[in-house]
């Protein structure tokens, strides 16, 4: 498994770097999706199921960002996705320069959708534009329905909110309607997908959104 050790990119404008990366990826026909959540919310599991479900429909590459280990990238590679692991030099987020460096490590693979699995953290990743075409946030049932109140920025920066582990609903007092209301109050345009990567509930709606967002951008 290829592991790339990144250093923080020193640049005066991450926003400008992000815009440039987004434009270049569009020109190359690559739709980049940034997945953000707390550790253990189910990013890798959601990706694994998505990669399996969309096999034969679109080619997918996965950039796994962590502080240490390569377990997530190994898991993706086993599913046949082009994947690379990057280490963030202890940092809790990815910025546009780091994302560019990671994607360069995957060069040659002609994928149409690239996922960036950001470092598990509800705070820092929301502060940096990675150059992705869409930001997607995951919130799992066990984390609780108060998270939009405590971590508003990530909800504000995300195009979609995937509520994961819906199969665990009988065991948690998680008020789905309250989360929908709170997330929508922070971000009226956010799309919300309750899913279970374990049972497959809601996966079709999430995947259809992904494909249609990619089409929208291609035709823009």
Ligand X SMILES: Nc1nc2c(ncn2[C@@H]2O[C@H](COP(=O)(O)OP(=O)(O)OP(=O)(O)O)[C@@H](O)[C@H]2O)c(=O)[nH]1
- Which residues bind to ligand X, rule: CB under 6 A? 37, 39-45, 72, 120, 164-165, 167-168, 196-198
Q: Classify residue 20 by burial, with Cβ atoms within 10 Å: 0-12, 13-18, 19+.
A: middle
Instruction: Look at residue 196 and give the partner it binds from Mg ion, ligand X, none, a contact being a CB closer than 5 to 8 Å depending on partner kind.
Output: ligand X
- State the nearest-atom distance from the C-beta of 26 to ligand X, in Å: 27
Candidate list 14, 34, 37, 44; residue touching Mg ion; CB under 5 A: 44
- State the nearest-atom distance from the C-beta of 51 to Mg ion, in Å: 13
Q: If binding is defined by CB under 5 A, does position 22 make contact with Mg ion?
A: no
Nearest CB to ligand X, comparing residues 71 and 178: 71
Nearest CB to ligand X, comparing residues 47 and 186: 47
- State the nearest-atom distance from the C-beta of 137 to Mg ion, in Å: 14
Nearest CB to Mg ion, comparing residues 41 and 187: 41
Q: Show the tokens assigned to 10.
A: 């020193």
Q: Classify residue 196 by burial, with Cβ atoms within 10 Å: 0-12, 13-18, 19+.
A: buried
Candidate list 22, 43, 147, 157; residue touching Mg ion; CB under 5 A: 43
Question: 3-state DSSP call for residue 84?
Answer: strand
Nearest CB to ligand X, comparing residues 22 and 102: 102
Helix (H) or strand (E) holding 54: none
- Characterise 41 by phi-psi region: left (phi > 0), alpha (psi -120 to 50), beta (else): alpha
Q: Alpha helix (H) ranges present in 89-142?
A: 96-104
Q: Classify residue 149 by burial, with Cβ atoms within 10 Å: 0-12, 13-18, 19+.
A: middle
Candidates 3-11, 70-78, 107-115, 160-168 — which segment interacts with Mg ion by CB under 5 A? 70-78
- State the nearest-atom distance from the C-beta of 35 to Mg ion, in Å: 9
Tally Cβ neighbours within 10 Å of residue 135: 22
Instruction: Look at residue 168 and give the partner it binds from Mg ion, ligand X, none, a contact being a CB closer than 5 to 8 Å depending on partner kind.
Output: ligand X
Q: End-to-end CA distance of the chain: give it in Å, rounded.
A: 36
Summarize as ranges the residues that interact with Mg ion (CB under 5 A): 43-44, 72
């Amino acid at each position: 498994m290829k592991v790339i050790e990144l250093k923080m990119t020193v640049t005066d404008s991450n926003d400008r770097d992000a815009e440039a990366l987004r434009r270049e990826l569009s020109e190359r026909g690559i739709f980049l999706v940034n997945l953000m959540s707390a550790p253990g919310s189910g990013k890798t599991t959601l990706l694994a199921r998505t990669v399996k479900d969309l096999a034969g429909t679109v080619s997918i590459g996965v950039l796994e960002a962590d502080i240490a280990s390569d377990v997530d990238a190994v898991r993706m590679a086993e599913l046949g996705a082009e994947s690379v692991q990057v280490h963030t030099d202890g940092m809790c987020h990815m910025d546009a320069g780091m994302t560019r460096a990671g994607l360069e490590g995957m060069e040659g693979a002609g994928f149409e959708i690239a996922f960036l699995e950001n470092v598990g953290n509800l705070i820092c990743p929301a502060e940096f534009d990675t150059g992705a075409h869409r930001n997607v946030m995951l919130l799992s049932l066990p984390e609780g329905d108060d998270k939009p109140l405590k971590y508003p920025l990530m909800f504000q920066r995300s195009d979609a909110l995937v509520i994961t582990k819906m199969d665990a609903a009988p065991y948690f007092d998680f008020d789905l309607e309250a989360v929908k209301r709170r997330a929508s109050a922070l971000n009226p345009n956010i799309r919300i997908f309750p899913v279970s990567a374990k049972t497959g509930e809601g996966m079709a709606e999430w995947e259809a959104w992904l494909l249609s967002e990619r089409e929208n951008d291609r035709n823009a």
